[in-house]
């Protein structure tokens, strides 16, 4: 027989649904309002740049100390890594402490920005993509040095 979870640990399904609705409405709204700005295709270079930049920004938001202030209102520990226990605060806490989860939101925002302001977006995504490459090179250097 299954034991019922306490209310504090129950998954906040209505709040998840609200977040999905907000994401879908924002993306759908952009597609409707920006329909004249949506490119026929996205080039491989832009795809790679947005993908790597989304990875880096997702990690930055979800894990770095410098962005703990973003996570702090919806987390319950000093490191701002443990989401609140219930409600919308938990759902938002889970979103902003998960680099994969927040990465989708970042990717959608960068892709929309690429359609509206391609030059500026390419510059921003290049900065974050280059930093991601530097992170991997630094990690490789440390691994080689320590082996």
Residue 113: pLDDT band with limits 50, 70, 90: very high
| pLDDT tens per residue across span 7-46 | 556 899 999 999 999 999 999 999 999 999 999 999 999 9
Q: Radius of gyration (Cα) for the chain, nearest Å?
A: 18
What is the rounded CA–CA span in Å between residue 103 and residue 92?
14
Residue matched to tokens 């649904």: 17
Q: Global pTM?
A: 0.89
């Amino acid at each position: 027989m299954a034991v019922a979870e306490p209310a504090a640990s129950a998954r906040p399904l209505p709040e998840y649904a609200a977040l999905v609705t907000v994401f879908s409405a924002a993306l759908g709204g952009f597609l409707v309002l920006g329909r004249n700005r949506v490119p026929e295709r996205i080039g491989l270079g832009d795809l790679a740049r947005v993908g790597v930049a989304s990875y880096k920004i997702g990690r930055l938001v979800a894990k770095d100390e410098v962005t703990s202030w973003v996570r702090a209102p919806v987390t319950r520990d000093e490191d701002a890594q443990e989401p609140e226990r219930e409600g919308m605060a938990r759902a938002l806490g889970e979103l902003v402490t998960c680099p994969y989860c927040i990465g989708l939101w970042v990717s959608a925002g960068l892709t929309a920005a690429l359609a509206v302001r391609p030059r500026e977006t390419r510059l921003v995504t290049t900065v974050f993509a280059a930093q991601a490459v530097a992170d991997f090179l630094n990690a490789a250097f440390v691994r080689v040095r320590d082996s």
